[in-house]
A and B are shown apart, each in its own frame.
Chain A
Amino acid sequence: MTIRFVLFVNKQGQTRLAQYYEHLSLDERRALEGEIVRKCLARTDQQCSFVEHRNYKVVYRRYASLFFLVGVDNDENELAILEFIHLLVETMDRHFGNVCELDIMFHLEKVHFMLEEMVMNGCIVETSKQNILAPIQLMEKTS
């Protein structure tokens, strides 16, 4: 297992997307999200993008008002996860065109579809934007 959760959080600390690749109860999730978000939001731009929390390492990146947080194992390549976040954002950008927080909220299921094409069971499965978006575009065309 490499990626353990993916979180999108806005500047106010509200969760905009949460995908866990291991089982946590609702209460545990809430507590975890609260703690991590507080830690990450308090950091400045000059500080590095990695925060250690409990037994997770959280790699985060900020795009405008949204924070993208990925929790990984301790032996995961942090720099690669940064690239992964960027790839995810670029993929959403390509689909929504200049993606914003509202796009993600109103099309939560589509973002989940994209994420599902990219990550399965915590492992990265596809890194080509075209391949990621193909099934989603196909679905939109037929409907």
Chain B
Amino acid sequence: MDLAINPFSSGTRLRDMIRSIRACKTAAEERAVVRRECAAIRAAISEGDQDYRHRNMAKLMFIHMLGYPTHFGQMECLKLIAAAGFPEKRIGYLGLTLLLDERQEVLMLVTNSLKQDLNHSNQFIVGLALCALGNICSAEMARDLAPEVERLLQNRDPNTKKKAALCSIRIVRKVPDLAENFMSAAASLLKEKHHGVLISAVQLCTELCKASDEALEYLRKNCLEGLVRVLRDVSNSSYAPEYDIGGITDPFLHIRVLKLMRTLGQGDADCSEYINDILAQVATKTESNKNAGNAILYECVETIMGIEATSGLRVLAINILGRFLSNRDNNIRYVALNMLMKAIAVDTQAVQRHRATILECVKDADVSIRKRALELVYLLVNDTNVKPLTKELVDYLEVSDQEFKEDLTAKICSIVEKFSQDKLWYLDQMFRVLSLAGNYVKDDVWHALIVLMSNASELQGYSVRSLYKALQACGEQESLVRVAVWCIGEYGEMLVNNISMLDMEEPITVTESDAVDAVEVALKRYSADVTTRAMCLVSLLKLSSRFPPTSERIKEIVAQNKGNTVLELQQRSIEFSSIIQRHQSIKSSLLERMPVLDEANYLAKRAASTQATVSSVKSAPAVTPGGPLKLPNGVAKPPEAPLADLLDLSSDDAPVTTSAPATAPNDFLQNLLGIGLTDSSPTGGAPSTSTDLLMDLLSIGSSPVQNGPPTSNVNLPGIAETKPAPVTPQVVDLLDGLSSSTSIADENSAYPTITAFQSATLRITFSFKKQPGKPQETTISASFTNLATTTFTDFIFQAAVPKFIQLRLDPASSSTLPAGGNGLVTQSLSVTNNQHGQKPLAMRIRMSYKVNGEDRLEQGQISNFPAGL
């Protein structure tokens, strides 16, 4: 037994376990070994095994490190801590800090042991308790044990002192009110000689300054002198082997003192002046040929930037950074860039001087440095240097590696948008970015570009020609293709006829069929995604009206998608073919240029959507009235108005579209472009929805009841029925054949009768009937049954519905309900659900009646309406 008590020599079984874990070839094997070991340890714990406790703990630590749950060992830690011997306590405390955390209730149990150990006569045991407390103590423990720790700060042993100081940091962090209790003790610790005590005391002071303003003031008055002395001593000290790192004595202490000086000097001119000299001394005398020296210089520069330093000192600091920046060591350059970001706030001009070097760093081989440099360049951009800087960045975009392009593109776009003074420059930069890295351009960026082009009528010709050229050269960049295709569709005639040429532009010859070719290529490109293809189809449709001679060809191209497996494309193809083929009369007005997009509105929405968490974006008007369509999106629509409905396939106030979260932020523009649905179609769309839609399309007699509440998609084929406003006959005509099929489905449908309300005295049942072709309207016939033994007189049934539902109550068959269920009273209700398919019916009801001349009132809410009403 005595042999086994030594925890550190009986490691064989621990070793065995590690070996067998290492021998595992697969994760499953490892899990099996760990499970076996855990079972053995559990068994040992429940048997109260004394001899192998410590070894089991060591094993548990290893298992914990591998990422397996070890909660069952927690109580074992407590037992070890309560044991008398140092080795047991040692491993028990280690287990405590590793396996437990302050959230666990087990900690409550350890407070008492900790208190005893803090008062122990053995300084090592006191040290252990302090260490554990410093690592895990909770606010409650902090309050309970703070007096002990305060007392230990006065202890004679330096090791106890330093640990008590660090433990106080934790206590102050948990309970900032206690900061005042530690102020004077912390300040007096700075008089010590022991480095461990000093470094802990300095850190404690820093923490106190953060926790309380009172402490900050106190320390400014009382510890500055000591602090300067410490820094002077340590930086002037002769060689001290124990603390020497690369010829410098204890750089860690240097750095902590400098940090504290920064906290004290921030916003306080007197303090800053007091430490000016010593900072200058450190900044000039520290050797910069070793990493340790550079670490001190780096901290010193940060302190100089943080306090109210004299201008001379600041110049010194900026020069050090300049030296860092030209260093060959990547680590040094990294910290220099990091520091320059903070220096910008202090002295922008000084940082601007290093602009060329920083730009070089953007092109560095190391991604960490590139990222830092890019952030810095972003901060350096202003109105005067935006053009050369953007040029540099865009040039680099061409050669940068793939993974960096995304960051770079985002930053360039942001710079270009923020500082664009003239639209032409903005367009040029955006076109270049789209050509070079169109696959990385975010949706909102190219949406903004389209909005801008729509507003800049004098540049539309130039835009469409530039984009056409870019499309020929770089047809693989997704968002370039989208923007170009949109422009060709909208402004195709400007491309062909070279309308509104700019002076610097060279005329190009593009025939009508060239333009159609370009879109066709984009449509047929194998990697094009659904959104792009859908946009291509719209573009082609528009071109068929712009270039009548190509109409036949476009019809063929569009028709090729009639059998597309992606529903969105199939539907567009069929509908557009129908427009081209059969509706020449309305085509030209239907395919007019899109009204000018409201820029302010889009920017506001974009700003809002970047901040707001994506929630239900409802009822955004699809087309802002203005431009050619001087009509509100109201009831009386002229024949052109359905354009929006036709192209806008995502019904705009549909909270249940399958594409919901992803598309919401860009809702507005996507509606405009009529691509709201496309995100969901390729993979995201729930298969069930598409089959529903398909079944409706093919009218395979599927009743809405089985379908569940139909999503907005399902409504789409039957636009004629779903729109409450009367729609012009042309539109119905367009979709002919479809309307009748849906109504057949409706006719067959039967809804189950429900018990809408039941109390001890009254039962109400609802049965439902729908008129064919009017899915929103339901006729409910309500039957009332009196379950009590007395007759009800003056029976009145009332109902209330949400705003989106209209309700009409017909008179009841009688106002008297005979007792005991002998005889029914019926009443019929007509309900029109204006958001049919999106929101289910809901109703509150109230029944008032008289029993033996006494008034009675009953109320209820009906939420069990069958789906699909």
Contacts and interface: CB of A to CB of B under 8 A. Distances in A.
B131 A128 contact: no
Given A21-B135, A83-B295, A120-B166, A125 B196 contact: yes
A51 B90 CA distance: 35
A108 B54 CA distance: 13
B11 A79 contact: no
B335 A79 contact: yes
A139 interface: yes
B98 A112 contact: yes
A126 B162 contact: yes
B260 interface: no
B366 A48 contact: yes
A69 B250 CA distance: 22
A130 B18 contact: no
B602 interface: no
B10 to A, nearest CB: 11
Contacts of A17: 65
A5 interface: no
Interface in B702-724: none
Contacts, number: 163
Given A79-B298, A82-B291, A127-B250, A87 B65 contact: no
A18 interface: yes
Contacts of A48: 330-331, 333-334, 366, 368-369
A43 B370 CA distance: 14
B690 to A, nearest CB: 35
A26 B69 contact: yes
A121 B462 CA distance: 63
A23 B101 contact: yes
Interface in A117-136: 120-121, 123-131, 135
Interface stretch (B251-259, B623-631, B830-838): B251-259
Interface string B105-140: 000000000000000000010010001001100000
Contacts of B162: 125-126
A65 interface: no
B745 interface: no
B203 A123 contact: yes
B459 to A, nearest CB: 40
A58 B591 CA distance: 57
Given A78-B334, A128-B195, A15 B65 contact: yes
Given A46-B365, A120-B166, A108 B331 contact: no
Of A18, A120, A124, A135, chain B has the most CB atoms within 10 Å of the CB of A120
A125 B170 CA distance: 13
Contacts of B87: 139, 143
Given A123-B203, A125-B196, A139-B86, A82 B331 contact: yes
Contacts of B18: 105-106
Interface string A86-121: 110000000000000000011111101100100011
Interface string A7-38: 00000000111110101001001100100000
Contacts of A86: 245
Contacts of B9: 143
A139 to B, nearest CB: 7
A120 B61 contact: no
A64 interface: no
A78 B365 CA distance: 20
Report, as a range, how many residues of chain B touch the other chain.
Answer: 35 or more
B181 to A, nearest CB: 18
B175 interface: no
A62 B490 CA distance: 59
A120 B163 contact: yes
B159 interface: yes
A127 B246 CA distance: 14
Contacts of A129: 242
A127 B67 contact: no
Given A47-B368, A106-B18, A131-B196, A143 B135 contact: no
B425 interface: no
A78 B131 contact: no
A100 to B, nearest CB: 14
Interface string A34-63: 000000000100111111100000000000
Nearest to B245: A83
Interface in B477-495: none
B781 to A, nearest CB: 56
Contact of B61 (A49, A108, A121, A128): A108
A106 B11 contact: yes
Contacts of A108: 58, 61-62, 65
Contacts of A87: 245
Interface in B130-154: 131, 134-135
Contacts of A107: 11
Contact of B243 (A30, A109, A127, A142): A127
B103 A47 contact: no
A127 B299 CA distance: 18
B331 A79 contact: yes
A138 to B, nearest CB: 7
Contacts of B243: 127-128
Contact of A79 (B94, B195, B291): B291
Report, as a range, how many residues of chain A touch the other chain.
Answer: 35 or more
A115 B435 CA distance: 53
A30 B292 CA distance: 33
B131 A138 contact: no
B869 interface: no
Given A46-B366, A79-B291, A125 B67 contact: no
Contact of A26 (B67, B173, B333): B67
A53 B292 CA distance: 25
Given A112-B98, A131-B196, A52 B368 contact: yes
B330 A47 contact: yes
Contacts of B134: 120-121
Interface string B55-68: 00010011001111
Contacts of A19: 98
B251 A128 contact: no
B294 interface: yes
A23 B98 CA distance: 10
B625 to A, nearest CB: 46
A134 to B, nearest CB: 8
B276 to A, nearest CB: 21
B94 A116 contact: yes
B102 interface: yes
Contact of B298 (A1, A77, A127): A77
A1 B170 CA distance: 9
Contact of B255 (A80, A116, A120): A80
Interface in B205-260: 242-243, 245-246, 250-253, 255-256
B231 to A, nearest CB: 15
B203 A83 contact: no
B334 A125 contact: no
B544 to A, nearest CB: 51
Contacts of A126: 162, 195-196, 199
27 contacts: A29-B67, A47-B366, A48-B330, A52-B368, A77-B299, A79-B291, A79-B331, A79-B332, A79-B335, A80-B295, A83-B291, A83-B295, A86-B245, A108-B61, A108-B65, A116-B94, A120-B134, A121-B167, A123-B169, A126-B195, A127-B199, A127-B250, A131-B159, A135-B127, A139-B8, A142-B86, A143-B7
Interface of B: 6-9, 11, 14-15, 18, 58, 61-62, 65-69, 86-87, 90-91, 94, 97-98, 101-103, 124, 127, 131, 134-135, 159, 162-163, 166-167, 169-170, 173, 195-196, 199-200, 203, 242-243, 245-246, 250-253, 255-256, 291-292, 294-295, 298-299, 302, 330-335, 338, 365-369, 371
Given A49-B330, A128-B242, 15 more contacts: A15-B66, A23-B103, A33-B67, A47-B330, A49-B331, A52-B368, A79-B292, A79-B294, A80-B255, A106-B18, A113-B90, A116-B94, A120-B134, A125-B163, A143-B9
Q: 7 closest pairs, A vs B, by CB?
A: A79-B295, A48-B330, A47-B366, A80-B295, A23-B101, A126-B196, A48-B334
